[in-house]
Structure 1
């Protein structure tokens, strides 16, 4: 089931929102995920410059391809086509807030450089399943 924060924004804010995407990959059976969901929704309300989605990996396993989710919650944070973060994250709202604030402070050029600054991050950019999870695909599978 998807969240969430898709309110109509002014054109400049909507343009910025199109740049950032935050996806929580969880499972309904996971107690930690169920407890984290309300905090994730609250954070979505605090960051109008990003689109947030809650994605149940079991309900949408066919659409996720070979994505490997080992721990919950796993977060995917993208700016445009660049994957900035793809890993499990402690289910602490403050951790996600700090991470998002840091990414939101980057210029587009800084985000692109960050996305390619390590072998792990370069691998994320080449992962077809991560690349495919963009606003259009999430709108399709999360409705």
Structure 2
């Protein structure tokens, strides 16, 4: 499955994708957010173009126990992760073109490049500690 709306019944799929070193693109949104509702269709269409990656829609209020106290400043917010390495975390315009370019630039990098970038700044080191969906799903499998 390349796209899922995360709920209590399908968290295992997300955990398995992360443990299998699959690129995960998570959209962190809220059901009440009009921009998020508009972005949902574009995000789903984007996921269909890249079935080799795992796209997940996470409502931060419905999944508050998983998301925890991630600092989400604006919606939609994207989190791009492979394994335990968070490659990107931040707000995104409700259009997938820039997000797609970010993803494509990340998947081209070697493991060594991803690891170097993950520790290259205080912000990125913070992503590894605070944002990792792999760490947040550790108790699922």
Determine if the TM-score, normalized by the shorter chain, exceeds 0.5. Answer: yes
Pairwise CA RMSD of aligned residues? 2.4
Q: Within the alignment, does 1:84 sit opposite 2:76 as a pair?
A: no
Residue in 1 that maps onto 2:56 = 53
Q: Which runs of 4+ in 1 moved over 3 A?
A: none
Cα 1:100–1:45 change in 2 (3 A) is same
Residue in 2 that maps onto 1:137 = 137
Structure showing the higher helix proportion among its residues: 1
Query: 2:125 and 2:137 mapped to 1: Cα distance?
Result: 22
Cα 1:53–1:104 change in 2 (3 A) is same
Specify every segment of 5 or more residues in structure 2 that has no aligned partner in the other structure, as ranges.
6-16
Q: Within the alignment, does 1:106 sit opposite 2:109 as a pair?
A: yes
Query: 1:93 and 1:135 mapped to 2: Cα distance?
Result: 26
Question: Number of residue pairs matched?
Answer: 125
Q: What TM-score, normalized by structure 1, do the two folds share?
A: 0.78
Specify every segment of 5 or more residues in structure 1 that has no aligned partner in the other structure, as ranges.
6-13
Contact in 2 for aligned 1:26/1:72 (Cα 8 Å):
yes
Residue in 2 that maps onto 1:9 = none
Contact in 2 for aligned 1:21/1:135 (Cα 8 Å):
no
For residue 4 of structure 2, give the secondary structure of its aligned residue in structure 1.
coil
